[in-house]
Amino acid sequence: MLPRPTKYSLVSGVGDCKYKLNAFDMALLDAGVGNLNLLKVSSILPPQAERVEKLVIPPGTLTPVAYGTISSDVKGELIAASVAIGLSEDTYGVIMEFSGKCSKEEAEEKVCEMVKEAFKIRDLPLVGLVSEAIEHRVEECGCAFAGVVLWY
């Protein structure tokens, strides 16, 4: 079992180049997580986790991240990715991710509604909500990425 993360950061980035995987790599670099080994996780923010703006994680570290991403090779297409975290008073939080062919504002609205629904399902009071979203107009092969990095 891995230790429970004590910190979290919201990140986002975009990339655009010849290949989808390279565009994804560029988006990760733009988000500040491109030199980490990301472990995709689901939707729970650990209790008492502290929000930290600047990531300080050594390259190559296995790093849990809840994220949404989208890639497209349709020139001119608008793509977006977003994450949101619902915060409770004294227990865990809930993370939701969304990506789609839409604007940043639409992606952020959708993911925030998903958080509200998750709290309703859990019968938890929602006391705070934070989100991060990004959009990109595809030039060649584009990618949008938004994530919640959980770290120690």
Q: Domain of 25: which CATH number? A: 3.50.20.10
Number of domains in the chain: 1
Are residues 68 and 81 in contact, defined by beta-carbon separation less than 8 angstroms? yes
Residue 88 a catalytic site member: no
| Position 46 confidence tier, pLDDT thresholds 50, 70, 90 | very high
* Arithmetic mean of pLDDT, 25-39: 98
60 lies in which domain range?
7-151
In a domain, 146, yes or no: yes
Are residues 65 and 108 in contact, defined by beta-carbon separation less than 8 angstroms? no
Residue 132 a catalytic site member: no
Q: Who has greater pLDDT, 24 or 91? A: 24
Largest CA distance in the chain: 46
Helix locations, the chain, DSSP H: 20-31, 104-122
pLDDT given for residue 1 in this prediction? 78
* Distance between CA atoms of residues 63 and 114, nearest Å: 24
* Distance between CA atoms of residues 46 and 27, nearest Å: 26
pLDDT given for residue 4 in this prediction? 94
Annotated catalytic residue within 42, 50, 53, 89: 42
In a domain, 105, yes or no: yes
pLDDT given for residue 143 in this prediction? 98
Are residues 46 and 2 in contact, defined by beta-carbon separation less than 8 angstroms? no
pLDDT given for residue 150 in this prediction? 98
Is the confidence at residue 2, as pLDDT, over 90? no
In a domain, 132, yes or no: yes
Is the confidence at residue 105, as pLDDT, over 90? yes
* Arithmetic mean of pLDDT, 91-113: 97
Distances (CA, A) of 94 to 44, 57, 88, 100, 118: 5, 23, 9, 20, 7
In a domain, 1, yes or no: no
In a domain, 70, yes or no: yes
| Position 26 confidence tier, pLDDT thresholds 50, 70, 90 | very high
Is the confidence at residue 94, as pLDDT, over 90? yes
Residue 37 a catalytic site member: yes
Residue 22 a catalytic site member: no
In a domain, 2, yes or no: no
Annotated catalytic residue within 37, 77, 105, 139: 37
Annotated catalytic residue within 97, 108, 132, 135: 97
